[in-house]
Structure 1
């Protein structure tokens, strides 16, 4: 099953050519953001539920390929927060079905995404291809050094400037080495915090686009694992509505460390931005099963909202009291300073 927008037809055609050569049996489901916008604006939130025939297609599929690409990244800007939240809750069974398959999530270099990144379409195509066409075996080996540090660890602390000092337990959780298996581009190591363990405050100083709108400078304060105070420089009401989606939306489900230095500029696209070297990202909401250790509770939510901290300057990551990254450089890299 392929999920793809109309703008990515060239990539779908190329995939179908390969499917024919390998005896696969493909089907494509159109992922039209303008159509979803029209539907949600006309719908009653109480009526939103996953369509059984849509779910059945994914239940029968062995592999899911999800392709992003947009002519307008702000297409759903005028869809109300209540409807967005209701839609994501309704689609949760579909997301769970997809996550149980072999799946890959990637980007078609569409003109709307190039515009959002403030790049020409040609330059953006080169940027996407350069980020994707890597020696993923070598990248995995590089990232395995961080996995070895995190695997036996109990405590993780992230400090950045005067605005971020956040601590959490990762005891018994699993570090996941992401190097081209499910996302392209890739290049991160992530895990999940133990529920109830997150304490402190953090400023996510990189903006993000979600629900068709930009949120800037998200500041969160945690007590006993939950967000107790929040604010944002731009679209704070949208942030509030996301936090109110369900109980799990006020807890972190992921903490990840970007390690792909071929992604060398910010593009307002989380698939790329969270993988950048010299960054840490944390996600409110759903934890991924792979990162939750045995006998550890998984945070459940209809949302998974990634947010990024720039770690290039005046920043450290500590594991069990030891600095393992300073100003973006890891302890196992040249240039690391104690």
Structure 2
């Protein structure tokens, strides 16, 4: 039986996220989906709107083999053809499922670096992010539900509720926060194991409410590249390149991560040594989706958690450019609600958020449902 929530989600992706128009080319990229229903709905929906859909269907096991056997030449060849295709697109919808979220865990770091540098970065950072109306999302699978510690049926209900949220109302609630971030210079963050200061002065502030990620709910900018000083202890796990990291702690000096530890300290530092920019941060964001309360080892959900923020070693976005360039972009999440240890965020000495809840009167709409 066809699930009508699939069609509702497809409409959000086509009309709200991509604002797809007649005559536009849209690439639908599916990775490890258990079934094709959403892709079919997107193809049919794009065609009804007069757009031109193109589909690519990938398998993570095959990609693992390609990455493990990567050479400069093989990654550049893949990039050449995918870049040619991406350059013809006005919109991009990326749907990622996973039968095994740790599928890439045994790909050597030097091989992942080849993929990131010669394939992912030229196609996605340079072309897709800057040149298309793009949106990426995960797909509800058994392994995804397991990571969220939920039954598959319960997780599907949660997933569709969160992914088809009222993004117009979210956008309205975010406006006062955007205004405050645009005026702010010094940010101070305190919490268990965390005492961090940096500047966001004159860096563009971007509200996210369904146009690039599904689910969505964050307001992001970037730290001034050399301004971060202090320590931070992240309290959520993070899966990156197939490995689950926990207990990540950074020490910063003049913007650079000078000390980094975790359960996988050696792997963590290998990632941070991918290039010069990997030890500097390209994004800082405040989570505003109060439907998402607990981490589930998926960045697209975890970085939106109500009462959280994330700090990102690696590449900045052109739209909020602090000058940092890297092949990595790794959003690491710290939740500041009381059930996760609490904490505060200050803008220029004023308390902005305490224990996950915004303090100023003009930001109270962002606390609804928290």
Is the TM-score greater than 0.5? yes
Whether contact under 8 Å (1:45, 1:82) holds in the other structure is: no
What is the aligned partner in structure 2 of residue 51 from structure 1? Answer: 79
| DSSP 3-state at the match of 2:169 | helix
Query: Is 1:135 the counterpart of 2:166 in the alignment?
Result: yes
Whether contact under 8 Å (2:70, 2:115) holds in the other structure is: no
Query: Is 1:317 the counterpart of 2:345 in the alignment?
Result: yes
What is the aligned partner in structure 2 of residue 303 from structure 1? Answer: 328
What is the aligned partner in structure 1 of residue 7 from structure 2? Answer: none
What is the aligned partner in structure 2 of residue 38 from structure 1? Answer: 65
- Compute the displacement of 1:114 (Å): 1.4
Cα shift readout 1:201-258 (whole Å, capped 9, x = no counterpart): 10011000111110001100000110111100x2222111110111110001111111
Residues of 1 paired with 2:58 and 2:194: CA distance?
37
Task: Name the TM-score, length of structure 1 as normaliser.
Answer: 0.94
Residues of 2 paired with 1:277 and 1:118: CA distance?
18
Change (3 A) 1:20 1:74: same
Residues of 1 paired with 2:122 and 2:271: CA distance?
19
Residues of 1 paired with 2:73 and 2:347: CA distance?
45
| DSSP 3-state at the match of 1:26 | strand
Give 5+ residue unaligned stretches, structure 2.
1-26
| DSSP 3-state at the match of 1:128 | helix
Residues of 1 paired with 2:117 and 2:266: CA distance?
19
Change (3 A) 1:29 1:70: same
| DSSP 3-state at the match of 1:305 | coil
| DSSP 3-state at the match of 1:103 | strand
Q: Which has the higher helix share?
A: 2
Task: Name the TM-score, length of structure 2 as normaliser.
Answer: 0.86
Whether contact under 8 Å (1:155, 1:171) holds in the other structure is: yes
- Compute the displacement of 1:33 (Å): 1.1
- Compute the displacement of 1:305 (Å): 0.5
Change (3 A) 1:5 1:290: same
| DSSP 3-state at the match of 1:275 | coil
- Compute the displacement of 1:6 (Å): 4.2
Q: Which moved more, 1:50-59 or 1:182-191?
A: 50-59
Which residues of 2 match residues 59-98 of structure 1 at below 5 A?
59-90=87-118, 91-95=120-124, 96-98=126-128
Whether contact under 8 Å (2:71, 2:114) holds in the other structure is: no
What is the aligned partner in structure 2 of residue 290 from structure 1? Answer: 319
